[in-house]
């Protein structure tokens, strides 16, 4: 074939093959090492899919963002992740690109633009939108490419992300590497759709189908796509047709395929086909390609040899990178003395808790032009269902106050991606009950990003959630207290204020914290609880509890709207001669154990009170710690009091009974202080 008929510049084709050879060398070395027992890690082969990232590498730079999946080692190699660091990571070594904490399924390498690798199918798509938001808002010409297999198109997160990208015309490419398999299930067994790219057209943006095994056709098609996205015309969905030669996981051939069909697909595979094309067109000789392939194999061999000799990530690293400050990580026997909140400004204004939340956000918006809010109905004139954002959209515009579709995965993913890129997002989830819809983005991604990446990337984002408990009539799906779920997800900080002063100060701290924070807001307090709130900027440090009432007979430990029930209880008990000390935790993670233990030691008794279900609740953890640390000095075992083990009832009479109140708390206290 004459070089002029290739449809691609010879040097570009040669460069693509060079990347393909490098990918193939990595793939072969891993499969050989696993087969020989040299390596002990899980591998998801991508043999046959080399052309897609190799070609894209010739059209993008390290400035462009990429997200890929656990089956993404070819994407990582093509993007420029250091081979030594990549192999050291897969082997759990300290010199790994992420200190051995994430492994190959979670590589994050911002220096190459490989921002996120996720082992959750389809989960990268919402995060890609956030990266794209950052590029668009900063006026950068970066594109974001999110890779996923055809199987991921069945996941709701991908649909939510595609819809949001279309509405906001984001510079993101949804790269569906259609390898004909959803893990071990062939396409006809999991969808009746005739194709995948047509789904983009149904959502109002461009979709194309390209041959992912033909470097010339794919190069030209992708050049058009990337130019289109860089020009700000919106997202594109690319269905890149290819074939996975190996099994879902492991080594060898795809044993689910008919042998004759597999033989045909091997003949169509891009590496051998491109190699033959280079020789037939006179671009390279056999010797040149052999030398190129040998160099790639040698580079891989050397990287593996170094990685095998590199030090194992030590156990001392276990708690490092959970948070920016390891002191915030809870563990047995670690109860640091927390700093006081300091002196607050003296000039005040009467505010409701909703006003205080709004004021904290106004200050953040004025201070940081990259602070923005996204969520359902957050725009004006109402400023959200609870009015906490009122006026912000009018003052700062629709790019900084972004009403979204009803799509919690898309909301949290976009906030996460933009925070990884350095923005300061506030994601509003209308009720904490809806957290279950987007929990994957919260606890599998936002919470773990710093740790999995060895702090190469992190997610300084704030999630605001309202809780409907105590209002009556909201029922089982709008009234839950789900904080324990968050607290069992290492890497998330949780604040839960009981009054307007703390609401403003804690939210300000969340907005300036380097880690993902959840700010819980009790709906029952938003407009009923008012107070004199300092004007201007101030913060209440995360992890600092407060003694709101001194006492000598028992310590009541609480937070949020239940704290006020405890104060009312203490006032009532004082009439009976029972002196209750009340501790407002304010922050649930990190927890101020020093103040809790000091108070419990002083009074000799302690009870943790919360609106969440008592069984397996946060109170049990705190009570257990008090008992373990102070059992010799307590007058009675520390205990906890939470809601009954039942969904919150719609009936006011039942809800009042099943959740602690000042009367039921007082009854428990009387039992505890009996001689």
| Cα 373 to Cα 589: distance, rounded to the nearest angstrom | 23
As given in the structure block, the two tokens for residue 402 are 């972004």
Q: How far apart are the first and last CA of the chain?
A: 98
What distances in angstroms separate CA 539 from CA 238, 336, 389, 512, 582, one per listed residue?
Answer: 46, 20, 19, 9, 22
Alpha helices (H) along 310-434: 353-367, 392-396, 408-420
Alpha helices (H) along 259-318: 259-267, 270-280, 286-309
SS3 149: strand
* Pairing assessment for the beta strands 65-69 and 206-211 based on DSSP bridges: unpaired
Q: Which of 74, 445, 458, 478 is the catalytic position?
A: 478
* Cβ contact 491:445 at 8 Å: no
* Cβ contact 359:504 at 8 Å: yes
Nearest alpha-carbon partner for 158 in 56, 47, 88, 239: 239
Q: Which residue has the tokens 């109860």?
A: 335
Q: Is the peptide bond before 627 cis (omega within 30 degrees of 0)?
A: no
Asked about 488 being catalytic, the answer comes back as no
Nearest alpha-carbon partner for 403 in 438, 428, 420: 428
Q: What is the dihedral of CA 626, 627, 629, 630, to 10 degrees?
A: 90
* Cβ contact 219:8 at 8 Å: yes
| Cα 22 to Cα 293: distance, rounded to the nearest angstrom | 7
Alpha helices (H) along 118-180: 124-137, 156-168
Active-site residue list:
478
């Amino acid at each position: 074939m004459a070089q002029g008929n290739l449809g691609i510049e010879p040097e570009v084709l040669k460069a693509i093959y060079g990347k393909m050879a490098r990918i193939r060398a990595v793939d072969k070395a891993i499969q050989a090492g696993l087969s020989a027992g040299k390596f002990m890690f899980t591998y998801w082969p991508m043999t046959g899919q080399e052309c897609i990232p190799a070609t894209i590498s010739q059209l993008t730079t390290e400035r462009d963002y990429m997200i890929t999946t656990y089956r993404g080692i070819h994407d990582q190699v093509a993007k420029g992740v250091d081979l030594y660091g990549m192999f050291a990571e897969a082997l759990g070594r300290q010199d790994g690109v992420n200190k051995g904490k994430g492994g190959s399924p979670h590589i994050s390498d911002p220096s190459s633009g490989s921002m996120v690798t996720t082992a959750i199918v389809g989960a990268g798509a919402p995060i890609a939108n956030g990266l794209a938001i950052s590029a668009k808002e900063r006026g950068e010409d970066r594109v974001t490419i999110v890779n996923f297999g055809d199987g991921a198109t069945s996941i709701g997160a991908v649909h939510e992300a595609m819809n949001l990208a279309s509405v906001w015309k984001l510079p993101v490419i949804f790269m569906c590497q259609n390898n004909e398999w959803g893990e071990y299930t062939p396409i006809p067994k999991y969808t009746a759709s005739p194709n995948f790219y047509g789904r983009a057209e149904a959502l109002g943006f461009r979709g194309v189908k390209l041959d992912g095994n033909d470097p010339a056709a794919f190069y030209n098609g992708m050049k058009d796509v990337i130019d289109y996205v860089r020009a700000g015309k919106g997202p594109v969905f690319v269905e890149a047709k290819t074939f996975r030669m190996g099994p879902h996981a492991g080594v060898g051939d795809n044993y689910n395929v008919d042998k004759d069909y597999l033989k045909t697909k091997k003949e169509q595979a891009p590496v051998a086909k491109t190699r033959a094309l280079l020789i037939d067109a006179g671009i390279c000789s056999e010797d040149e390609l052999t030398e190129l392939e040998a160099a790639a194999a040698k580079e891989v061999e050397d990287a593996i040899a170094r990685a095998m000799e590199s030090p194992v990530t030590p156990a001392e690293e276990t708690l490092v990178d959970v948070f920016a400050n390891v002191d915030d990580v809870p563990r047995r026997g670690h109860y640091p003395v927390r700093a006081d909140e300091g002196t607050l400004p003296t000039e005040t204004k009467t505010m409701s808790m909703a006003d205080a939340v709004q004021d904290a956000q106004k200050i953040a918006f004025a201070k940081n032009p990259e602070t923005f809010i996204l969520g359902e109905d957050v725009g004006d004139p109402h400023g959200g269902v609870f009015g906490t954002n009122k006026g912000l959209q009018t003052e700062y515009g629709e790019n900084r106050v972004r009403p979204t579709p009803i799509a919690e995965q898309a909301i949290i993913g976009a906030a996460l991606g933009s925070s990884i890129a350095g923005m300061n997002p506030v994601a509003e989830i209308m009720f904490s009950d809806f957290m279950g819809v987007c929990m994957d983005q919260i606890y599998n991604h936002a919470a773990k990003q710093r740790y999995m990446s060895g702090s190469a990337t992190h997610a300084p984002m704030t999630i605001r959630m309202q809780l409907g408990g105590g209002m009556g009539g909201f029922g089982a799906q709008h009234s839950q207290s789900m904080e324990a779920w968050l607290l069992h997800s290492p890497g998330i900080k949780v604040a839960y204020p009981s009054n307007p002063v703390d609401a403003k100060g804690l939210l300000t701290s969340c907005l300036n914290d380097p880690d993902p924070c959840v700010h819980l807001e009790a709906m029952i307090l938003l407009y009923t609880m008012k107070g004199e709130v300092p004007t201007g900027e101030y913060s209440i440090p995360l992890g600092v509890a407060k003694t709101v009432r001194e006492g000598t007979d028992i310590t009541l430990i609480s937070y949020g709207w239940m704290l006020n029930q405890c104060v009312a209880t203490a006032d009532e008990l004082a009439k009976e001669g029972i002196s209750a000390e009340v501790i407002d935790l304010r922050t649930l993670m990190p927890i101020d154990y020093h103040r809790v233990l000091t108070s419990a030691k002083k009074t000799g008794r302690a009870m943790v009170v919360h609106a969440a279900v008592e069984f397996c609740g946060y109170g049990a953890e705190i009570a257990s710690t008090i008992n373990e640390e102070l059992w010799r000095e307590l007058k009675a075992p520390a205990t906890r009091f939470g809601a009954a083990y039942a969904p919150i009832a719609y009936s006011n009479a039942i809800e009042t009974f099943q959740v602690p109140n000042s009367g039921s708390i007082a009854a428990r206290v009387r039992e505890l202080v009996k001689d």
